[in-house]
Amino acid sequence: MIQGPGRALLFDIDGTLANTDPLHLKAFNQVLGPHGHVFDHARFSRELQGFANVSIGERFLPDETLERRAEILGEKEEVFRTLVAGQIEPLPGLIALLDHADVAGIPMVAVTNAPRLNAELLLAGLGITQRFKALVIGDELPYGKPHPLPYQEGLRFVGASAAASIAFEDSRSGVESATAAGIPTIGIRTSLSDADLVGSGAVASASAFDDPELIARLARAMNW
């Protein structure tokens, strides 16, 4: 198919390409538990999911120095990387979707608040690193999600139009970031409900990338 002008697909990583959120929850509890913070799934989805470590440190470790916050949250990421090693599986339908986009010549960008080491580990574990024209790390920008800047940067990297593109997100902060950048956003229901995702601004939600309604929507939007 001939690519339409300025189209792109932009993907969050954790909870969107692979369902890694249960492992993040376990790692946060292991590291923040001694500091008096224990999270269940509901609290994780409200207060941790999709947020950058800087803002998590400000909220949950206010009495620690900036250096100590970074050290504690760096330990959390090391725990996560240990837990996730060898357990990375793509969400159903993901690889077929990436194949469609490649054939159609539509560029793809990964946009995440995760640290670069985590993002690169997950993309490599899924075997899809080379599929993405760019990897945008929110922590490396002046503002991470829910600010629109990470998605604006993703669009800039591939010269794409926000209105002609589609983003995929699983968290409230991620949906808010992508929609604030003007990108129609599909919520992926690995952790949140349709009501939560649409309430945050998603145009629709899907259980995974093999959802028939999602496939039909992408075929119309991307002309494949």
Q: Which residues participate in catalysis according to the annotation?
A: 12, 14
Closest CA to 19 of 83, 76, 101: 83
Q: CA-to-CA distance for 210 and 195, rounded, in angstroms?
A: 20
Both tokens of residue 193?
Answer: 């409900």
b/e burial code for range 167-200 (CB count within 10 A of at least 16 → b): bbbbbbbbbbbbbbbbbbbbbbbbbbeeebbbeb
Directed axis angle between helix 53-60 and helix 66-84, to 10°? 120
What angle (nearest 5°) sits at the alpha carbon of residue 96, between those of residues 95 and 99? 85
Contact of 113 with 50, CB cutoff 8 Å: yes
Query: Phi and psi of 24, rounded to 5°?
Result: -60, -45
Percent helix, strand, coil in the chain, to 5, is 50, 10, 40
